């Protein structure tokens, strides 16, 4: 699955393509023990598949189709209280695709973090992966807030916060995440109250 081999695809084709990519990411990164073979050839095949999935993610950064360029973009500016980027998109499918690319990044980074738990370089690897968690979550939340008519986008933001919210250390940014959860609960009756409480406790514990 390559970014460059389907330049004629429309936004709907690309969105479906990205969703399939996410399915394979989940399948490879979260194999059950019962599904894992001891055959070296199977292990090599999994490694090759994982490499191909990572290549798609990396190629997306440099060869992303222009149909996914926002019509308006402003980067985040935490010093002025703007904790998420603004990206205005013209089609809900664009939002779905871009958010799922970031979810795929989170899963791949989580897989890398699990593989490097101890030893020389583990601490640096953890900091790098946590940076990816924060960056991808910011993008997912920015897409949701910038395209607020899309309820699924806000739900996806809630999922990203569930997965990665604990890794945010800036108090203003933490409050911005809680505001998204409040919006989900208030406007869409999404049960986020317990999640918000768990995040607050996790943040307090990390502060010592």
Give the pLDDT confidence score for residue 38 in this predicted structure.
47
pLDDT tens across 149-190, in order? Answer: 899 999 999 999 999 999 999 999 999 999 999 999 999 899
Taking each helix axis from N to C terminus, what angle separates 122-146 and 151-164, rounded to the nearest 10 degrees?
160
Mean pLDDT across the stretch 38-42? 52
Query: Quick check: 118 pLDDT over 70?
Result: no
What does the mean pLDDT of the chain come to? 89
Question: Residues 6 or more apart from 194 whose CB is under 8 A from it?
Answer: none
pLDDT at 33: 52
> Residue 130: pLDDT band by 50, 70, 90 thresholds?
very high
CB 141 within 8 A of CB 158: no
Q: Give the angle subtended at the CA of 114 by the CAs of 108 and 116, to the nearest 5°.
A: 105
Q: What's the pTM value of the predicted model, to 2 decimals?
A: 0.90
Q: Which residue has the higher pLDDT, 45 or 143?
A: 143
**CA 80 distance to own-chain centroid:** 24
| pLDDT over 90 percentage in the chain | 70
Cα separation, 156 vs 189, whole angstroms: 15
What span, in angstroms and rounded, lies between the C-alpha atoms of 196 and 112? 27
- CB contact at 8 A, 135 and 167: no
Whether the pLDDT of residue 40 is over 60: the answer is no
The CA-atom distances, in angstroms, between 153 and each of 21, 48, 126, 138, 142 are: 19, 32, 28, 13, 10
- Residues 6 or more apart whose CB falls under 8 angstroms from that of 163 comprise 106, 110, 133, 137
Residue 194: which pLDDT band, with cuts at 50, 70 and 90? very high
Average of per-residue pLDDT across 127-149:
95
């Amino acid at each position: 699955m390559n970014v460059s081999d389907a330049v004629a695809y429309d936004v709907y084709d690309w969105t479906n393509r990205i969703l399939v990519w996410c399915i394979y990411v989940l399948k490879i990164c979260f194999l059950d023990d019962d599904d894992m073979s001891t055959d070296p050839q199977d292990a090599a095949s999994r490694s090759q598949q994982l490499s191909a999935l990572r290549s798609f993610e990396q190629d997306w950064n440099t060869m992303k189709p222009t149909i996914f360029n926002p019509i308006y973009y402003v980067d985040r500016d935490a010093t002025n209280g703007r904790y998420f980027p603004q990206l205005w998109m013209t089609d809900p499918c664009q939002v779905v695709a871009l958010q799922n690319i970031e979810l795929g990044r989170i899963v791949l980074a989580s897989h890398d973090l699990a593989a490097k738990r101890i030893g020389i370089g583990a601490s640096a690897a953890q900091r790098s992966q946590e940076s990816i968690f924060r960056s991808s979550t910011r993008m997912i939340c920015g897409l949701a807030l910038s395209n607020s008519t899309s309820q699924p986008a806000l739900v996806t933001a809630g999922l990203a916060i569930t997965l990665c919210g604990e890794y945010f250390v800036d108090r203003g940014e933490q409050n911005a995440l809680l505001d998204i959860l409040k919006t989900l609960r208030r406007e869409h009756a999404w049960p986020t109250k317990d999640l918000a409480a768990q995040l607050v406790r996790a943040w307090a514990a990390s502060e010592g």
